[in-house]
Amino acid sequence: MLHPFIANENNPHMRLSCETWAGEKLYEFRFYELELVTYSLPLAVFRWDSYARNDTYHRHCDFYELVLVYRGSARNDNGVGQITTITVGNVFLLPPGSIHRYQAIHEFAHFNILFRPELLNQLRFDLEDLPGFQSLFRNFGTAGDPLAVSPFLTLPETEMTNVILMLEECRQEFDTREPGYESAAVASFLRALTTICRRAHLQQEGREEDHSFRISRVVEQLNSRYPEEFSVPQMAKLAGMSASNFRHRFSEVMGVPPVEYLTRIRLKMAAPLLTTPENITNIAFRVGFEDSNYFTRQFRKYAGFTPTEFRRLFNNGEITLQELDRRLLFRPAT
């Protein structure tokens, strides 16, 4: 689902509760009132590319909601004065019975993974051994508490892209409904959840939270303005940090140094252009490289082959854009 989400009386999947919360109307979500692709599987994945500004308090009556923010920012309000800014890379879990709303919304886009408790009860296997699982599922208190919410975790950009690909695979299984799609959808969900639990870092209070927020603002700029020239001092200025502190904090939050991150993003943006007849030199300039030879060297460094070799592999059906994205974002440099 790519249309705007509206949390109010205009949403057919919400029911007005007889209660009020913080003096305002309270709406209720129940899993089987949602527009699901199947009733035999207690799992649904939604992607919201935009979000209404008139969000109201609502309760998740009988399901977990795992949230992954991939663009913009908002403030999560639990209705009793605890308001937390959430931004790119943040992951958190709302258990059954929890109440919240989003406010101060700015270009907010996110995934919602909804599932009923029985799904995880059957499939958790060794997930409980991962610290991220304990942070998400064990630290919010008693399920059913309307104030319950997990700690806010931060997923590095490269890992976030990987998780997004898995969630899109899950959504695609629901869309196509090919034989075996339920098993395939659950498999993609478990892969995404495992990656989150392995890689997500606990968002700490105070300065650490401030650093993560500042880094996320720079990441947003790099993602949208990648063809422009960015030096580390320029990035640090955007973050309001010293260059040395910024370089250290960026690597800590994102998992790679800032220059490498920008290079990988530029290469990723060049990938779909390479499937067209456009001249490679022009493509290099379009995504921010001033030297086509340097572009070729960096492409080989992260992809394992040159742009020309990629075109041959792609035209022969030997590699997909998705596989190239994985290489450019996750493959160790050579």
How confident is the model over 43-96, as pLDDT tens digits? 999 898 877 666 788 888 889 999 999 988 888 888 777 788 888 889 999 988
Q: What is the mean pLDDT of residues 131-145?
A: 66
Helix (H) or strand (E) holding 175: helix 157-176
Share of the chain above pLDDT 70, in %: 86
Tokens of 90: 């943040």
Confidence (pLDDT) at 121: 76
Answer whether 88's CB lies under 8 Å from 72's CB. Answer: yes
* β partners of residue 71: 109
141 pLDDT exceeds 70? no
Residue 213, pLDDT > 70, answer no
Helix or strand (DSSP H, E) at 319: none
Write out the residue limits of the CATH 1.10.10.60 domain(s) in the chain.
207-330
Average pLDDT, the chain: 84
The model carries a pTM of: 0.60
Specify the domain boundaries for CATH 2.60.120.280 within the chain.
14-202
How far apart are alpha carbons 112 and 189 in whole angstroms? 12
Q: What integer is the mean pLDDT of 286-298?
A: 96
User: How far apart are alpha carbons 269 and 329 in whole angstroms?
Assistant: 11
Determine what percent of the chain is predicted with pLDDT higher than 90: 38
Residue range 224-281, pLDDT digits in tens: 899 999 999 999 998 889 999 999 888 876 778 999 989 999 999 999 999 999 999 9
DSSP 3-state percent helix, strand, coil across the chain (nearest 5): 45, 20, 35
For 147, the token pair is 């104030």
Gap between the Cα atoms of 157 and 329, Å rounded: 9
SS3 121: helix
pLDDT digits (tens, 9 = 90+) for 22-41: 888 898 888 887 766 567 88
pLDDT confidence bin for 206, thresholds 50/70/90 = very low
CATH for the 207-330 domain, from 1.10.10.60, 3.40.120.10, 3.40.718.10, 3.40.50.2300: 1.10.10.60
**Mean per-residue pLDDT, 185-212:** 74
Q: Does domain 14-202 have CATH number 2.60.120.280?
A: yes
* 81-115 residue pLDDT tens: 778 888 888 999 998 888 888 888 888 889 999 99
